[in-house]
C-alpha cells in the first residue's frame, strides 16, 4: 500500500518554511500532494494559478510531488486522492494546539486518515505567509524568506 500524503495550506506565497517541511517529508512518503485550499474566510494576495505555478516549478524535478487546488474538507480531498496522511508544519506551541484541534476533528470525520506534524527548522520559525504578505504590502524586501524562484517572480 502506497504512503500518500496531503500537505494542505494556502501557500500565499510559498515560503522557505513551506519548502523546508515538504523537502524533509519527501523521504517519508511515496507521493506527496501539496493542496492549495480554497478558504472563503481568506482573501489571497496571489492567484491560485500563480501559487500552483510556483509549486509545480519548484518541484518539477521531483516526481513524488504534485500540487493541486481543492475546496471543502481536507479529509474529502484526501479520500479523492487516496491519501492516508495529512502533513502539517509546526513552528510554535500555539501552532500545535490549533493544529491538534483540527487533527482531532479530521480524525472524528475520517478515522483512517492520520495527521503528522513536522517542526520547522529553527531558521524558518518566524517565517509565516501572513508576515511575508505584510512586508510585501509595505514595500519591504522578502527575498530571504522565499524560494529564489518565488522571489524572482515578484
Give the neighbor-by-neighbor strand order of the sheet with 114-119: 65-71, 31-38, 4-9, 85-90, 114-119
Question: Mean pLDDT for the chain?
Answer: 95
- pLDDT band for position 85 (cuts 50, 70, 90): very high
User: Active site residue: 3, 42, 80, 143, which one?
Assistant: 42
SS3 of 55, please? helix
64 is catalytic: no
User: Tell me, what CATH number does 139's domain have?
Assistant: 3.40.50.620
Runs of H (alpha helix) within the chain: 16-25, 48-58, 74-81, 93-109, 129-137, 148-153
Which member of 91, 100, 107, 133 is catalytic?
A: 91
Overall number of domains in the chain: 1
Q: Do 46 and 10 meet the contact criterion of CB atoms below 8 Å apart?
A: no
> Do 71 and 41 meet the contact criterion of CB atoms below 8 Å apart?
no
pLDDT above 70: percentage of residues in the chain: 100
Cell 500540487 belongs to: 67
42 is a catalytic site residue: yes
The pLDDT tens digits of the residues spanning 22-56 come to 999 999 999 999 999 998 787 899 999 999 999 99
Full residue range of the structural domain in which residue 43 is found: 4-153
**pLDDT at res. 59:** 98
* Annotation says 91 is catalytic: yes
Question: Is pLDDT of 1 > 80?
Answer: no
Residue 3 is a catalytic residue? no
Amino acid at each position: 500500500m502506497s504512503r500518500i500524503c496531503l500537505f494542505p495550506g494556502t501557500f500565499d506565497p510559498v515560503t522557505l518554511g513551506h519548502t523546508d517541511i515538504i523537502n524533509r517529508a519527501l523521504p517519508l512518503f511515496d507521493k506527496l500532494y501539496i493542496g492549495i485550499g480554497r478558504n472563503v474566510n481568506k482573501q489571497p494576495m496571489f492567484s491560485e494559478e500563480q501559487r500552483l505555478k510556483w509549486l509545480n516549478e519548484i518541484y518539477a524535478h521531483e516526481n513524488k510531488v504534485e500540487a493541486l487546488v481543492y475546496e471543502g474538507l481536507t479529509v474529502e480531498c484526501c479520500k479523492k486522492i487516496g491519501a492516508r496522511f495529512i502533513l502539517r508544519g509546526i513552528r510554535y506551541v500555539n501552532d500545535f494546539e490549533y493544529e491538534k484541534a483540527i487533527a482531532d476533528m479530521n480524525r472524528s470525520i475520517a478515522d483512517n486518515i492520520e495527521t503528522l506534524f513536522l517542526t520547522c527548522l529553527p531558521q524558518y520559525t518566524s517565517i509565516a505567509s501572513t508576515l511575508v504578505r505584510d512586508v510585501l504590502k509595505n514595500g519591504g524586501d522578502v527575498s530571504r524568506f522565499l524560494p529564489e524562484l518565488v522571489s524572482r517572480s515578484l
